[in-house]
């Protein structure tokens, strides 16, 4: 990832109230988010806006609702834009953000850029130095590590300009009764005793993945993700898969959020579970995005490095049986 010594925390991906120090010091500040964000990149900024009066703006989807609309994004930018905080890879659509374009536009208006990389770091090579962001965040449990810890990386000159977000032991340089001075980043932002076991586990998970080679991980996921998409799309015309098709210029994550016309996502996932197939159902911590898609929930099948094409085939077979089961049940009731 090219992190070096710029890591600035191990407490997940909710740094909004801290980052406000250098981004939103006044009530006229504008923060640009998107309708595709995970709640963890929406709710903290809403709390900040309620406290400071900052204005939130949201990038909408393209007309086909497959990815973020970059023309709309550009139209939202203004001299008041202080922060842009966007998801790198959507956990529902699977679309991949054009980070080079976003970073260029952020620099054009003098805004800081934060990228939610929770769905990219586990799945593709991510070099923080080439993303152009001021901060990136990632969660340990998304890349095979323990829960409760994560990474907040920041450019050193930005971190150096920021005050601590929490006081305590280890983050100090010198303490007096009436004032204190603070350590240099990243130690300044790591108060108290950390989650030692979890942090060691996170490091071990990262080393294991990078031992495999993130280029190999990404290549395998592209292959099995395309297979998953194509097999699922062929199940029935009633199946709607959200997000861009595979093979596009920016690629697609190896997940497929979908719905079957006439069936609720939770009913579908329940019968798949009974067949030994694990998918997630619900809003996937992305309620605004589901509203944009015109649905309250979706089922999501995700393929990773430990999944095989044979398992995708089992999923498709189980989904086909699930649709037939409900169709037969509805037919018998009519």
Contact indicator for 133, 115 with CB cutoff of 8 Å: yes
Contact indicator for 12, 149 with CB cutoff of 8 Å: yes
CA dihedral 81, 88, 156, 76 (to 10 degrees): -10
CA angle, 15 then 296 then 304, to 5° = 60
Tokens of 11: 């407490």
Strands lying side by side in the sheet with 135-139: 55-59, 30-34, 81-87, 112-116, 135-139, 150-154
**CA-to-CA separations, 244 to 241, 285, 300, in angstroms, rounded:** 9, 20, 15
Residue 266's SS3 state is helix
**CA 151 to CA 118: how far, in whole Å?**
9
**CA 208 to CA 302: how far, in whole Å?**
20
Of residues 22, 45, 18, the one with CA closest to residue 189: 18
> Is 285 an annotated catalytic residue?
yes
Contacts of 100 (CB under 8 A, 6+ apart): 132
Of residues 20, 61, 15, 19, the one with CA closest to residue 289: 61
Any idea which residues carry the catalytic annotation?
Answer: 285
């Amino acid at each position: 990832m090219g992190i070096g010594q710029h890591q600035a925390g191990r407490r997940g991906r909710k740094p909004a109230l801290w980052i406000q120090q250098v981004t939103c010091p006044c009530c006229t500040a504008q923060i640009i988010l998107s309708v595709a964000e995970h709640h963890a990149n929406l709710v903290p900024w809403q709390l900040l806006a309620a406290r400071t009066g900052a204005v939130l703006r949201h990038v909408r989807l393209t007309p086909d609702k497959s990815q973020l609309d970059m023309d709309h994004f550009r139209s939202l930018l203004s001299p008041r834009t202080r922060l842009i905080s966007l998801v790198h890879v959507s956990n529902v659509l699977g679309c991949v953000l054009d980070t080079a374009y976003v970073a260029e536009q952020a620099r054009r208006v003098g805004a800081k850029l934060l990228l939610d990389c929770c769905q990219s770091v586990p799945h593709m090579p991510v070099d923080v130095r080439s993303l152009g962001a001021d901060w990136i965040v990632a969660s340990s449990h998304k890349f095979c590590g323990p829960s409760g810890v994560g990474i907040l990386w920041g450019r050193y000159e930005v971190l150096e300009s920021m005050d601590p977000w929490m006081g305590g032991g280890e983050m100090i340089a010198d303490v007096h009764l009436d004032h204190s001075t603070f350590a240099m980043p990243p130690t300044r932002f790591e108060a108290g005793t950390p989650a030692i076991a979890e942090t060691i586990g996170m490091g071990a998970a990262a080393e294991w993945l990078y031992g495999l080679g993130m280029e190999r991980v990404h290549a395998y996921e592209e292959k099995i993700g395309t297979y998953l998409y194509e097999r699922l799309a062929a199940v029935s015309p009633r199946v709607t898969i959200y997000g861009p098709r595979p093979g596009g210029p920016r690629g697609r994550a190896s997940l497929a959020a979908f719905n079957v016309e006439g069936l609720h996502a939770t009913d579908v996932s329940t019968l798949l579970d009974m067949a030994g197939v694990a998918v997630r159902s619900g809003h996937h911590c992305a309620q605004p995005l589901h509203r944009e898609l015109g649905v309250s929930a979706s089922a999501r099948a995700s393929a990773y490095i430990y999944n095989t094409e044979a398992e995708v085939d089992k999923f498709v077979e189980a989904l086909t049986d699930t649709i037939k089961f409900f169709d037969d049940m509805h037919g018998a009731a009519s």
